[in-house]
Structure 1
Amino acid sequence: MFLAYTVSGLSVGVLVGLTGVGGGSLMTPLLTLLFGFSPATAVGTDLAFASITKGFGTLAHRAHGHVRWDIVRRLSLGSLPAAALTIGVLKSAGELDGPVLHAIRVTIGVSVLLTVLSLLFRSQLLAWLARRPQYQLTGARQANATVLVGAVIGVLVTLSSIGAGAVGATLILLLYPQLRAAEVAGTDIAYAVPLTAVAALGHVWLGTVHWNLLGALLVGSIPGIWLGAQLSKQLPERLVRGALATVLTFVAIKLVS
C-alpha cells in the first residue's frame, strides 16, 4: 500500500500545484473514501502532513516578502487557543468512534463545501465588497474580526484538517481587500503553519496520526506540487478550478450523506 499512498500524495500534490487549493480538501476525503481510514486518522495524518509542507511554503514566501506578519499574529491569536480547546474537547469525548467520528465526517463534508464556494465565488464576493466600501472593516473592528475568523478556522481545521487553504484565503481577502495576491497566499500559508502544528500535536496526543502513511504521502506530494506548478503555466486556471470544484462537490455530498 506504500506505493498507492505515494501515488495519492503525488496526485494531490499536482492538483495543489495547479490550483493553489490546500491539500486538506483533497487529501482527507481521499483517505476516508478511497482507502477507508477513519475520519479521525485521516484528519490527524493530514494535519501533520500540512504542517510540514506549509512550513517549506512559508520559507519561500518569507524570502520574497509576501507574508503580512501582523495579520498572521491576529489570526494565530484566535486559531491557536481554539485548536487547543478543540483537542481538549475531543480528548474528553473518550474513544473517537460512533457519534464523534460521524461528527468529524460531517465536518469534513461541510468544510469541503466551503472550499467549493470559495473556489467558485471568491471574485464575486470581492467585487461586491469593492462596490460597497462602507462594509469594509478598519482599525479595531478589523483586528477583532480577524481574531474571530482565526478562532472559527482553528476549530474547523482541528476537526477536519480543512479550512486554512481556500476558505482561509477568501476570508483574509474579504477582511483585507487591498492585499496583493502573493501577500494573501503567503499570509494564508504562514498562519496555517502554527495552526496545523498545534492541531497535529494534539492529534499525536489523541493517537490519530498514521506515521507510515504520512511518510508515503510526503514522498509523493513534494515532487507533485512542483509538477503541478509547472503545468499551471500551460492550463487555464478557470478550467482547472471548475473541474476541481465539481469533484469536491460530489465528495462533500458523499461525506455528509
Structure 2
Amino acid sequence: MDFDLAMAFGAFLVAIVVGMTGMGGGALMTPMLVTIFGVPPLTAVSSDLVAAAVMKPVGSVVHLRRGTVNLDLVRWLCIGSIPCAFGGVLIARALGDGQDVQSVIKVALGVALLIAATGLAVRGYLALVDRAAHRVDDRRTAAPGEPAAMAAPHVKARPIPTLIVGAVGGLVVGMSSVGSGSLMIVALLALYPMLRANHLVGTDLVQAVPLVVAAAVGHILFGDFHLDVTAALLAGSIPGVYLGSLVSSRAPGGLVRRALAFVLLASALNMFGLSNAALGLTLAGVLVAVSLIWMLLRKRHGLTAVPTRGEAREPEVAGSDRQ
C-alpha cells in the first residue's frame, strides 16, 4: 500500500509539470516508474499509456471548443500514427520476453528522451528568435490606419510529410510511450513554421488522443499492463494535471521548459546506465555550458544576456500555449 501511495504522489508531481507545460507525460512518468519505483520498462510503458489514454481527451475538448485545432493535420497525422503506434507495441513484444526486451526498451526510451530534450531546446531557441523579432517590431511606428495585428495565416496540410511524421511518432510512442506531446510538437513546428502556438498545441493534443488509445490497446493486449500501477498513476495524475493547469497562466513558461529539458536529459542518461558520479558531473557540465551558450545567443539576437523583468512578462509565441 505504501508503494502505491508513493507512486501516486510521484505521478501527482509529474502531472503538475504536465499541466504547466502541456508536455512531458510519457517522458517523465515512465522514467520515474523505472528508475525510482523499479517497475520493469515494458510494464511502465504499458501502464503509462493506458493512464494517458484516460487523461488526454480532457484537454483536447477544450481546444476543439476554442477552435485551435487544424483538423486536416489531425487527419493525416492519425492515418500514419494509429497503425504504427499499434505496430510499435508488437515490435516491442516481438523482441522477446525477459531481460532482452526490457534492455532494448530501456535504450529506446533513453534515445526518445534525448530527442525530446533536444526538441525542447529547439523550441526554446525559436521562441528566443521570435521574441527578439517582436521587440524590433515594437520599436517601429505603425502607419496611420495600419492594423495592430495580422490574422493568423492559413496553413495547408502537406499530406505525405505529415503522414510520415505521424508514422514515426506513432512507432516511438508505441514502443516507449514518449513523444505524443514533445516529439510531435517539434515535428509539426518544423513542418509548419507558420502554425500558431495555440493551434500547434491544440492540433497535437487532439491527434494524440487516438494515437495514445491505439498504443494503450496494443499494450493491454500484447504488452505488460498492470492495473494496480495504472490506478496509482491515475489517482495522482488527475488532480496533478488540474492543479498544474490552474497555475500555468502565472508560471514563467520558458523557465519551466528549460527545467523540463534538464529533467529529460537526466532521465535519458540514467536509462543509458551512467553511474551516479558520472551522471552528476555530466549534468553539471551541461548546465554550465548551456547557460553560457544561451547568454551568447541572447546577445547575438539583440537581447540582454540575462532576461529583464519586463521581458519576462512577454508571452512566448512558441511555447506559451498549454495543453
Deviations 1:137-171 (A, max 9, x none): x978x321111111111110011000111111111
Deviation at 1:94, TM superposition (A): 4.2
Gap change, CA 1:231 and 1:139, over 3 Å in 2: closer
Contact 1:67–1:183 (8 Å) recurs in 2: yes
**Which of 15, 18, 26 matches 2:17?**
15
1:93-104 matches, within 5 Å, as 93-95=95-97, 97-104=98-105
Q: Over aligned residues, Cα RMSD in angstroms?
A: 2.0
Q: Aligned pairs, how many? A: 247
Q: Residue 204 of structure 1 is aligned with which of 217, 220, 225?
A: 220
Q: Which amino acid aligns with 1:107?
A: A
Q: CA deviation at 1:123?
A: 4.6
Quick one: which amino acid aligns to residue 15 of structure 2? G
Asked if the contact 2:11–2:233 (Cα under 8 Å) also holds between the matched residues in 1, the reply is: yes
Question: Is the CA contact 1:22–1:164 (under 8 Å) kept in the aligned structure 2?
Answer: no
- The answer to whether the 8 Å contact 1:44/1:200 transfers is yes
**In structure 2, what residue type is equivalent to 1:206?**
F
Higher relative contact order (Cα pairs below 8 Å, separated by 6+ residues) = 1
Matched residue SS, 1:112:
helix
Taking the TM superposition and a 5 Å limit, the aligned residue runs for 1:125-140 are none
Supply the AA of the counterpart residue of 1:6.
Answer: A
| CA deviation string 1:60-92 (max 9, x = no partner) | 211111221111111111111212322333344
Contact 2:42 2:223 in 1 (8 A): no
Structure label with greater radius of gyration: 2
The match for 1:162 among 171, 178, 181 is: 178
Moved more, 237-246 or 179-188: 237-246
Corresponding position of 1:111: 112
The residue that corresponds to 1:48 in the other structure is: 50
Question: Counterparts of 1:1-257 in structure 2 under 5 Å?
Answer: 1-95=3-97, 97-124=98-125, 142-257=158-273
| Paired residue type of 1:3 | L
What CA distance in whole angstroms lies between the structure 2 residues aligned with 1:179 and 1:239? Answer: 23
Instruction: Kindly indicate whether the alpha-carbon contact (under 8 Å) linking 2:48 and 2:233 is maintained by their aligned counterparts in 1.
Output: no
Gapped regions of structure 1 (runs ≥ 5): 129-137
Q: Which amino acid aligns with 1:172?
A: L
TM-score (norm 2): 0.72
For 1:207 and 1:39, the matched residues in 2 are separated by 11
What percent identity do the matched residue pairs reach? 41
Aligned partner of residue 158 in structure 1, secondary structure: helix
Structure 1 residue runs of 4 or more that deviate by more than 4 Å after TM superposition: 125-128
